[in-house]
Structure 1
């Protein structure tokens, strides 16, 4: 019985330490940290891809994920945290998670922004307990120094995803199968 108590104590201590390391406790500055990263990411995106300013002006809201880390070796996954902004004001915080399987190896990091182009798309996203990206997302992935412009196909899409700032050893980035969940930072 004495061993069980020690083991239970060790597990409780480990769980408490892990939870404290998440920096998601009440009174933490998690929201301020996310907002600062979102501001920096948006400034970089607007400077590097001026066409995104037009998307922002036409959108009803934006979900900004400043840093998504993705890694895989056979099985893979990705995680990041960001903010939903409506009229340039943060209204909610979200996490993004992705799991994948198949022939894959490596790791990468990237930023992405979802532009909600209709009120209905934004409302569906906000009402969902866990929203998964799929066929209703149009991708505008700039590469190199090229300009990003909203074309005819993307201008009619309810949600436009811009993925940029990729670094790492994996090729490409996609949001298919990615799940977004509201969090309290």
Structure 2
């Protein structure tokens, strides 16, 4: 409970950056286009997924204590089905701000059902999100992905490796 309250307090200044459904949709389209361009086989991979949750802009800021917040859209079969926020808190050496895009892919219907069944789904507690790593030129469709939920994190420079989404909380919002 303390972690949730702490996380919300840190995210409040960033929450003022709330976007409309139309803004989220436009940014999500651009993020998915980038996904398909940067990841060989990415579009086919997304087409085979049960659903994809896209956070086009997750802002993180901190000085010793940090917080991050972003809003996104859950798409199933190419249709927008719900909007979500993500928030997380961190403590440790950090200073400044950054922006990233997060794409969470639900590989099967059961993983999606479990996610949607929670009022606030926390990565690492309610389910695990495997952040995928692979070599340059490798086709994602040739990987043997067994994880039910797979995450991808992009910075301005491209796909980021060695990151985790553990501790991120995803909550449905109205737009």
TM-score for the superposition, normalised by structure 1: 0.74
Matches within 5 A, 1:5-16: none
Structure 1 partner of 2:80: 90
C-alpha distance 172-106 of structure 1, shift in aligned 2 (>3 A): farther
Structure 2 partner of 1:35: 25
Larger radius of gyration: 1
Structure 2 partner of 1:137: 129
Does the aligned pair in 2 maintain the 1:37–1:66 contact within 8 Å? Answer: yes
Does the aligned pair in 1 maintain the 2:75–2:81 contact within 8 Å? Answer: yes
Structure 2 gap segments, 5+ residues each: 1-12
C-alpha distance 103-165 of structure 1, shift in aligned 2 (>3 A): closer
Structure 2 partner of 1:99: 89
Structure 2 partner of 1:78: 68
Does the aligned pair in 1 maintain the 2:70–2:85 contact within 8 Å? Answer: yes
TM-score for the superposition, normalised by structure 2: 0.78
Structure 2 partner of 1:112: 102
Query: What is the alpha-carbon distance in structure 1 between the residues aligned to residue 66 and residue 80 of structure 2?
Result: 30
Does the aligned pair in 2 maintain the 1:142–1:164 contact within 8 Å? Answer: no
Deviation at 1:173, TM superposition (A): 4.2
C-alpha distance 78-146 of structure 1, shift in aligned 2 (>3 A): farther
CA offset digits 1:149-174 (Å, max 9, x no partner)? 2522xx1100010111346xxx9643
Q: Does 1:66 align with 2:56?
A: yes
Matches within 5 A, 1:50-61: 50-61=40-51
Query: What is the alpha-carbon distance in structure 2 between the residues aligned to residue 92 and residue 23 of structure 1?
Result: 15
Runs of 4+ in 1 over 3 A off after TM superposition: 21-24, 145-148
The CA RMSD measured in Å over matched residues stands at 2.4
Query: What is the alpha-carbon distance in structure 1 between the residues aligned to residue 105 and residue 140 of structure 2?
Result: 13
Q: Does 1:178 align with 2:153?
A: no
Query: What is the alpha-carbon distance in structure 2 between the residues aligned to residue 108 and residue 86 of structure 1?
Result: 29
Structure 1 gap segments, 5+ residues each: 1-17, 25-29
Between Structure 1 and Structure 2, how many residues are aligned? 155
